[in-house]
Amino acid sequence: MDKQKFFIPMPDDRTIESEINQIVSAAAEHKESFLSHLKAMYRQVGLGPLFSDRSELVFLLLAAIALISLVFWGPQPGQSQAHEMYSLIFTTSPILFLVLSVYTYANKIRNVTYEVEMACKYNVYQVIAFRMLAFSVVSILVNAVMIFLIVMTYENIQFIRAFMISVTALFAYSLLFLYAMIKRRSAVVAALLVAGWMAGNLALRYTGSRLYIDMLLHLPTYVYGVVLLGTLYGYLKHLNKLIYYKPAERNY
């Protein structure tokens, strides 16, 4: 009996390309969106482990609020001028965020369990990103309450302008802080950025820069809105980068 020969038809180029695309698509790692990733962290880990040092954070929160209160309601020579108060709001609005974020950042990267936490499903930088988003929300709420109290105290302060200045300053600083942290990965650079922000704003305030005063008093609120949207977009974009951040080495 003659042996039958099996004939295997070769696929055409289109079929080969289609099969390759299916294999690559199935093997490729699925990258979650920013919000989906944060929701998954919240559901799988919970707020307790994500904020394991709650007592320290509450203490820092109260200390920062007390510091801001002393700045605004300390001894002052009469009714403050509007541009001075707006300048204080612009300068101090990121304080709460930076105090909580710098503490978290320095505490996490210097922790003796850093290497272990970096090997976990949700690593150090993903926890920092989650915390920073929470800190920004808390800062907005606290700043809004402080501004409301300021408006009740100083009649020449407009709530909408003061709030827009506050939120714009908060996200502008937050974006700079995140950029420095991702690019330099250094607590020293973060500290210098904090000092530079404060020194720059205080210098502009006390030198009486006309451009600075005009910006605070006369810049339309919709311009602050445009700047706010831009800084908020950059802030969320850099938080997303931080989630997938893989540092090569530890720098202090």
Question: Is 5 domain-assigned?
Answer: no
* Number of residues that make up the chain: 252
Contact 201, 173 (CB under 8 A): no
Average pLDDT of the segment spanning 186-203: 74
Question: Is 54 domain-assigned?
Answer: yes
Measured distance CA(29)–CA(75) in Å, rounded? 59
Contact 169, 93 (CB under 8 A): yes
In which residue are the tokens 């904020």 written?
51
Q: Which residues have CB under 8 Å from 232's CB, separation 6+? A: 171
Question: Is 16 domain-assigned?
Answer: no
Contact 53, 130 (CB under 8 A): no
Burial of 163 (0-12, 13-18, 19+ CB in 10 A): buried
Nearest partner of 99 among 147, 138, 130, 42, judged by Cα:
138
Give this prediction's pTM.
0.75
Measured distance CA(63)–CA(218) in Å, rounded? 33
Measured distance CA(232)–CA(19) in Å, rounded? 42
Element (H or E) spanning 234, and its range? Answer: helix 221-243
DSSP track, 153-202: H-TT--HHHHHHHHHHHHHHHHHHHHHHHHHH--HHHHHHHHHHHHHHHH
pLDDT for the residue numbered 252: 44
pLDDT for the residue numbered 117: 64
pLDDT digits (tens, 9 = 90+) for 141-165: 988 988 888 888 887 888 999 999 9
Rg, the chain, Cα only: 25
Question: Is 180 domain-assigned?
Answer: yes
Average pLDDT of the segment spanning 193-219: 77
Measured distance CA(67)–CA(61) in Å, rounded? 10
DSSP 6: P
Calculate what percentage of the chain has a pLDDT beyond 90. 6
Domain, as residue range, for 138? 32-243
pLDDT for the residue numbered 25: 53
Mean pLDDT, the chain, as a whole number?
Answer: 75
pLDDT for the residue numbered 187: 60
Average pLDDT of the segment spanning 194-217: 77
pLDDT for the residue numbered 20: 66
Residue 92 pLDDT class (50, 70, 90 cuts): confident
Question: Is 121 domain-assigned?
Answer: yes
Question: Is 236 domain-assigned?
Answer: yes
Question: Is 46 domain-assigned?
Answer: yes
If one counts the domains in the chain, the total is 1
pLDDT for the residue numbered 167: 93
Question: Is 62 domain-assigned?
Answer: yes
Q: Which residues have CB under 8 Å from 4's CB, separation 6+? A: none
CB atoms within 10 A of CB 93: 28
Average pLDDT of the segment spanning 57-76: 70
